[in-house]
Amino acid sequence: MSYLLNALSMLIELAFEAAVTLLLLRVAAEACRADFNNPLSQFVYRYTNPVLAPIRRVLPNWRRINLAGLLLAWLAMLLKRLLLCALIGVMPHPLGLVVLALAELLDFALLFYLVLIFGWSLLSMFAVDRRQPLLRLVGSIVAPLLRPLNGKLIAGNIDFGPMAVMIVLLLARLLIAAPLLDLGARLAMGA
């Protein structure tokens, strides 16, 4: 029976993390003012707007940050954790569940940016069409993180700025997200 539970928990995680990825793409694209004429930007907008539009009436943007998207991403992580706990027959403490969902969202967002920067750096080493929609969207999303180090860490025509940002993101996962995940897990189990 544990094989079935493992498969079901994998499917639950996959479904909720796909939804959170879509919401984080929407939040990041709005925050960095990605080109709306990009077909991928339109795809993200089209599939997130039906759930975000009603919430945005109550919870408007703060500067360029889509608070409704962040709230929905956090709620998705909360519901995912609640379903996974129900699957194994455990009822977590509500405060621990809230902290755990917040920590998971933070860790997921850091991993999201880590993957985007790595993929963008890898694609930028090859001769690809700069008008390609994926490269344009990812480039506009990672640009605010890379801008402070732009042209400052170059050695032999190689820009080490993306690697430095990826190291900072990894350190943030280890030093900020991991302790929050541990705290949330301890609070959820009532310890």
Q: How many CB atoms lie within 10 A of CB 109?
A: 20
Distance CA 159, CA 48 (A): 35
User: What is the tally of structural domains in the chain?
Assistant: 1
Mean pLDDT of 13-40: 94
| The two three-digit tokens of residue 179, written as one number | 């302790």
Query: What is the tens place of the pLDDT at every residue in 34-92?
Result: 888 899 999 999 999 999 999 999 999 988 899 999 999 999 999 999 999 999 888 89
Distance CA 48, CA 19 (A): 9
Domain span at 181: 2-188
Mean pLDDT of 149-162: 83
pTM value is: 0.91
> CA distances (Å), 138 to each of 103, 116, 134, 156, 167, in order?
24, 7, 6, 25, 19
Residue 1 has pLDDT above 60, yes or no: no
- Identify the band that residue 119 occupies on the pLDDT scale cut at 50, 70 and 90: very high
Mean pLDDT of 4-16: 94
Which residue type occupies 5? L
- Least confident span in 50-59, 76-85, 127-136, 178-187: 127-136
User: Count of residues for the chain?
Assistant: 191
DSSP SS3 for 90: coil
At residue 79, the pLDDT reads 96
At residue 152, the pLDDT reads 83
Q: How many CB atoms lie within 10 A of CB 28?
A: 24
Residue 27 has pLDDT above 90, yes or no: yes
Contact assessment for residue 26 and residue 52, using Cβ atoms and an 8 Å cutoff? yes
Distance CA 118, CA 114 (A): 6
